[in-house]
Amino acid sequence: MEQVQTYLLQAEKQCQQHGSRLTAQRKRVLSLLLQAEKALSAYELLDLFEIHFKQPLAPMSIYRTLEFLESVHLAHKLNIANKYVACAHIGCGHSHTLSQFLFCQQCQRVDETSLDSSMRAELAGTMKQTGYRLLSPQIELSCICNACQLQDDADNSTAHIQN
């Protein structure tokens, strides 16, 4: 929880640098994303908001809040799953580059990594050569994480033994 508070303080500074404010509602939604161990849909966030803060929030409000958090680089929308995650780089001080999201289809866990400059250059070259232009500020890869793979392996070996 202490780390969440540190990130929230960094997020407030980041908002001030963008000339905006991290309101109480925005801070609460961001705190839910920071505490989540997986990507969350807007409606999952609505449910968590009501549980944690004992007050309902209208769907339009959550979408406006998420849109704001995206605009100041505090959250990312994963189009692959129509879910949201807190930015892994809150307060790190470096500029955002092309991010890569590894999204586990089973447990919904997400890891955000930055593509190094050589990979970005190679991707840009390939797009230029083939006549494409990048529209999304991120790359999303549908994966299965190691924990889920191990669980699948354990389940498969148990099923094999029982047969």
**Residues annotated in a binding site for Zn(2+):** 104, 107, 145, 148
> How far are the Cα atoms of 29, 31, 76, 143, 157 from residue 25, in angstroms, in the given order?
6, 10, 17, 32, 47
- Residue ranges for the known binding site are 104, 107, 145, 148
14, 74 Cβ separation under 8 angstroms: yes
Residues 6+ apart with CB under 8 A from 91: 6, 7, 9, 10, 11, 13, 14
